[in-house]
Amino acid sequence: MYDFTSGFLTLMQQELFTHGNNQLETCIRVPLPGADVSYYPDFLSADQAQHYFNRLQDTLLWRQEQIQLYGKQFKVPRLQAWYGNKEASYRYSNLSLYPNTWTTELLSLKQRCEQISATVFNSVLANLYRDGQDSMGKHADDESELGRQPVIASLSLGAMRTLVFSHKHNLSEPKKQNVKLPLATGSLLIMKGSTQQNWLHGIAKRKTPMAGRINLTFRFIYP
């Protein structure tokens, strides 16, 4: 199993680039076969990340949704909020999401993510992990509304949680096909190309006490 916390950084390609405010940022290319994944560990400063975490936790319209799996209803093990342009409705696991109107903070973050990814987004799924028991099952963002090769910009705020990638087509040896990536507060992960066609990703539960985390996944929904 690859683990970014145990020396795997030596296998990654690191680049420095300049964005709009002339600040140098590190871009780390995550070496997943059949994927295009970039990690920006310092996309936001610690103070900026804390500011946005506090504002979004207090102002977004959080809900605990229910989804249907294998004919049964389950509560989503985290809180969610869906924001975007009025045409950006989204459906997964028999759950239909209709967008709330953009907030000032979400629009500001969207514009920054668009600049760094050279992509236009019209929606964002916000997830609030209240503690270590909140989680996200392994999945791919491959719904038809997202297009064949969607660009997903995933911004992390608050406590660090580990994102686990699992290859879709090599599940006979799952331990060898998993890649663990700890997501620091203020970091940005961009997934594009064939990533969703070849890889699943998820956030596992943690037994140890943990503070809250907010994850924003900006995307473009096709009408």
Q: Which domains does the chain have, with CATH numbers?
A: 1-7+24-60+79-181+212-223 (2.60.120.590)
Map the chain to HEC letters: CEECCCCHHHHCEEEEEECCCCCEEEEEEECCCCCEEEEECCCCCHHHHHHHHHHHHHHCCCECCEEEECCEEEECCCEEEEEECCCCCEEECCEEECCECCCHHHHHHHHHHHHHHCCCCCEEEEEEECCCCCCEEEECCCCHHHCCCCCEEEEEEECCEEEEEEECCCCCCHHHHEEEEEECCCCEEEEECCHHHHEEEEECCCCCCCCCEEEEEEECCCC
In this prediction, residue 66 has a pLDDT band, given cuts at 50, 70 and 90, of confident
136: tokens are 């996200």
35 is written with which tokens?
Answer: 């994927």
* Sign of the alpha-carbon dihedral angle for 118, 201, 211, 65: positive
Q: Per DSSP, what are the bridge partners of residue 72?
A: 69
Top pLDDT among 182 and 171 is at 182
Residue 28 region by backbone torsions, left for phi larger than 0, else alpha for psi between -120 and 50, else beta: beta
Directed axis angle between helix 46-59 and helix 104-117, to 10°? 130
For 198-208, what is the mean pLDDT?
A: 95
Confidence band for 176, pLDDT divided at 50, 70 and 90: low
**Across 12-37, average pLDDT:** 69
What are 5's two structure tokens? 């916390």
Averaged pLDDT for residues 37-42: 96
Percent of the chain at pLDDT > 90 equals 74
Mean pLDDT on 62-90: 89
Residue 214: what pLDDT?
98
The pTM (predicted TM-score) of the whole model is 0.87
- Partners of residue 25 on adjacent β-strands: 17
